[in-house]
């Protein structure tokens, strides 16, 4: 599948984008090992989150739905999962695989985790290393890549682990393994990363302490079922925050968006660039802060992205690079080496696409320098990365000619219906079979 987008257009209206992928993954995982029935509204019915649903069904968990974003998980308790008959296929879900490594390291059965070609090319050493320190037994393919074979019946021990870099996936993996370890497991993070796991564990009645950058919990407790209302995903909203900022005369409202302070780097960075973004109707839903976001077109200026915002916007940088290309002057990003081990090497993939469209850029080992300019048209390779595909679709709003974006099938992993929603708001996008 490919996108073909005509140049120009503006965005207007009011819309709620699909539910947060990170929270959707965690609602299934924690609901499955809780006691009682966990009911979830706003669940993201994207391929990644559905792969997590399928994995827990394969381990004996009854799950009703999802139907129109509603899902019910019949929890089996901390020790109630059963051995799957086959390897668990996580598709393209890196979050699903990394978090499951921690949760499954403490089980009484052996299990194999696999995924598609993209996921099986992604390094898993960042979770294998701390889990091995805890006593887990994990065998990987060459280069510490999936498939991963996790041996059960290990007596996990608690650890104090200092994260080499801020990473919510690694932090969450260690904390989930800590549920099954003896003693107190602690993670020290060098900077803030998304805290959905800690918030949701507390929502399930599990005590988690956070102080001075150290997050810790005691193993051997229990989780009690609760109701979860998943806010709209700020990572999905980011495409339209940038779109309405760069398309002249745009005025757009995005409703019920999660504004967790560990996730709002994209808003902070766009505002530093001069974006006209206003948070309305702030409230808290199920322990997560939520707001409606109004964004109007505004002239953007290039900036040096503050280091303390990098981890808070790590998934949104592909579309932020589009904003930088439309800004006056130079934008500099450093300290974002994690972008090289996402669904693609996002620094290299975005740099290639920007060059194709006529934008001057310089690739750094840990980031990129982008000179604001004018998009031409062209054909973009996505390397099967959903966020690369959606980012370059947004670029057409300021392009001089048509943009064709190849290999867009993976968009459904995080944002099912992206093309139709974008078309309804004013993007001149068509989907074609490639």
Tell me how crowded residue 355 is: count the other CB atoms within 10 A of its CB.
Answer: 13
CA separation for the pair 337, 126 (Å, rounded): 14
Same domain, 155 and 274: no
On the question of pLDDT at 343 being above 90, the answer is no
Q: Give the span between the Cα atoms of 94 and 118, in whole angstroms.
A: 9
Between helix 94-105 and helix 125-133 the angle, nearest 10°, is 10
Question: Which residue in 277, 274, 278 sits closest to 302, CA to CA?
Answer: 274
What is the average pLDDT across 191-211? 95
Contact 339, 294 (CB under 8 A): no
Torsion of CA 321, 322, 326, 327, to 10 degrees: -30
**Helix H or strand E segment including 2:** strand 2-5
Would you state the structure tokens that stand for residue 430, as one six-digit string? Answer: 């068509």
Show which of 194, 229, 264 is a domain's final residue: 229
Indicate whether 434 pLDDT > 80.
Answer: no
pLDDT band for position 433 (cuts 50, 70, 90):
confident
118 in the same domain as 43: yes
pLDDT in tens, 92-105: 999 999 999 999 99
Q: Which of 189, 251, 196, 193 is nearest to 228 (CA)?
A: 196
Burial pattern 297-320, b for ≥16 Cβ within 10 A else e, equals bbebebbebeeebbbbbbbbbbbb
Statement to judge: residues 245 and 275 lie in one domain: yes
- How far apart CA 416 and CA 302 sit, in angstroms, is 31
Residues 137 and 250 in one domain: no
Dist CA 280 CA 324 (whole Å): 25
Short-list 42, 420, 49, CA closest to 232: 42
- For residue 64, count other CB atoms closer than 10 A to its CB: 12
Is the preceding omega at residue 66 within 30 degrees of 0, hence cis? yes
Write the pLDDT tens digit of every residue in 39-68.
999 999 999 999 999 999 999 999 999 999
Judging by DSSP bridges, how do beta strands 214-218 and 62-67 pair with one another? unpaired
Give the model's pLDDT for residue 62. 98
User: Cβ neighbours of residue 101 under 8 Å, at least 6 residues apart?
Assistant: 113, 124, 127, 128, 131, 138, 148, 150, 173
Catalytic pick among 315, 385, 407, 419: 315
pLDDT of residue 342: 87
C-alpha to C-alpha distance for 419 and 427, rounded to whole angstroms: 9
Nearest to 86 by CA among 129, 65, 64, 55: 55
Alpha-carbon distance 371 to 316, whole Å?
A: 19
Cis peptide before 340 (omega within 30 of 0): no
User: Domain end: 190, 207, 229, which one?
Assistant: 229
Whether 103 and 237 map to the same domain: the answer is no
Torsion of CA 322, 325, 327, 332, to 10 degrees: 100
* Same domain (yes/no): 212, 112: yes
Same domain, 80 and 208: yes
Final residue before a domain boundary, out of 206, 229, 252? 229
Identify the band that residue 413 occupies on the pLDDT scale cut at 50, 70 and 90.
Answer: confident
For residue range 147-170, list pLDDT tens digits in order.
999 999 999 999 999 999 889 999
Q: Which two tokens stand for residue 326?
A: 């439309």
pLDDT confidence bin for 295, thresholds 50/70/90: very high
Token pair in block for residue 201: 């564990």
Q: How much is the average pLDDT of 345-350? A: 96
pLDDT computed for residue 347 by the predictor = 97
Q: What's the pLDDT tens digit per position in 243-260?
A: 999 999 999 999 999 999
The verdict on 77 and 126 lying in the same domain is: yes
Q: What is the CATH number of the domain that holds 57?
A: 3.65.10.10
Task: Count the Cβ atoms, other than its own, within 10 Å of residue 187.
Answer: 26
CA 230, 340, 304: angle at the middle one, nearest 5?
85
- Say whether both 241 and 220 belong to one domain: no
Given a cut of 90, whether residue 192 has pLDDT beyond it is no
Query: Which residue range is the domain that position 162 belongs to?
Result: 21-229
Total domains present in the chain: 2
Q: Taking residues 421-431, what's their average pLDDT?
A: 95
Average pLDDT value for residue range 177-188: 97
Direct distance between the N- and C-terminal alpha carbons of the chain, in angstroms, rounded to an integer: 5
Annotated catalytic residue 64: no
| pLDDT the model gives residue 375 | 98
Confidence category of residue 286, pLDDT binned at 50, 70, 90: confident
Q: Are residues 83 and 11 in the same domain?
A: no
Q: What percent of the chain has pLDDT over 90?
A: 94
Q: How many Cβ atoms are within 10 Å of 376's Cβ, its own excluded?
A: 15
Please report which confidence band the pLDDT of residue 285 belongs to, taking 50, 70 and 90 as the band edges: confident
Bridge-based pairing state of the strands 70-76 and 62-67: antiparallel
Which tokens sit at 58?
């394969």
- Both tokens assigned to 102: 């921690």
Give the pLDDT confidence score for residue 210 in this predicted structure: 96
Looking at the structure, tell me whether residues 220 and 323 fall in a common domain: no
* Crossing angle of the two packed helices 317-326 and 265-272, in degrees rounded to 10: 10
User: What pLDDT shows up at residue 360?
Assistant: 98
Question: Mean of the pLDDT values across residues 292-320?
Answer: 96
Q: Do 398 and 353 belong to one domain?
A: yes
């Amino acid at each position: 599948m490919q996108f073909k987008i005509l140049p120009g257009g503006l965005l207007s209206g009011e819309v709620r984008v699909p539910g947060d992928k990170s929270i959707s993954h965690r609602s299934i995982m924690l609901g499955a090992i809780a006691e009682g029935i966990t009911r979830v509204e706003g669940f993201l019915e994207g391929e990644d989150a559905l792969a997590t649903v399928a994995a827990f069904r394969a381990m004996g968990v009854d799950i009703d739905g999802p139907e129109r974003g509603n899902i019910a998980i019949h929890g089996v308790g901390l020790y109630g999962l059963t051995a799957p008959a086959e390897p668990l296929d996580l598709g393209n879900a890196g979050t699903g695989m990394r978090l499951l490594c921690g949760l499954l390291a403490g089980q009484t059965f052996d299990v194999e985790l696999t995924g598609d070609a993209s996921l099986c090319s992604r390094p898993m050493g960042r979770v294998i290393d701390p889990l091995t320190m805890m006593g887990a037994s994990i065998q990987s393919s060459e280069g510490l890549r999936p498939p991963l074979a996790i041996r059960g019946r290990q007596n996990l021990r608690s650890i104090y682990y200092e994260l080499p870099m801020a990473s919510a996936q690694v932090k969450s993996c260690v904390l989930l393994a800590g549920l099954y370890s003896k003693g107190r497991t602690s993670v020290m993070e060098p900077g803030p990363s998304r805290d959905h796991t800690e918030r949701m564990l507390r929502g399930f009645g599990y005590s988690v302490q956070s102080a001075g950058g150290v997050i810790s919990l005691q193993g051997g407790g229990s989780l009690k079922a609760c109701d979860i209302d998943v806010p709209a995903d700020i990572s999905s909203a980011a495409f339209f925050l940038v779109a309405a900022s760069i398309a002249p005369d745009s005025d757009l409202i995005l409703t019920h968006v999660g504004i967790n302070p560990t996730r709002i780097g994209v808003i902070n960075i766009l505002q530093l660039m001069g974006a006209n973004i206003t948070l309305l109707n702030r409230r808290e839903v199920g322990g997560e802060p939520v707001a409606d976001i109004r964004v109007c077109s505004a002239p953007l200026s290039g900036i040096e992205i503050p280091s303390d915002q990098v981890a808070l916007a790590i998934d949104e940088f592909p579309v932020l690079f589009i904003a930088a290309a439309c800004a006056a002057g130079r934008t500099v990003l450093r300290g974002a080496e994690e972008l090289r081990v996402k669904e693609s090497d996002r620094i290299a993939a975005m740099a290639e696409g920007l060059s194709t469209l006529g934008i001057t850029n310089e690739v750094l080992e840990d980031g990129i320098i982008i000179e604001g300019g004018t998009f031409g048209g062209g054909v973009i390779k996505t390397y099967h990365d959903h966020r690369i595909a959606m980012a370059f679709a947004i670029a057409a709003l300021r392009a001089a000619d048509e943009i064709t974006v190849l290999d867009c099938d993976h968009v459904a992993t995080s944002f099912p219906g992206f093309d139709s929603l974008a078309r309804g708001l004013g993007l001149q996008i068509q989907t074609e079979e490639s």
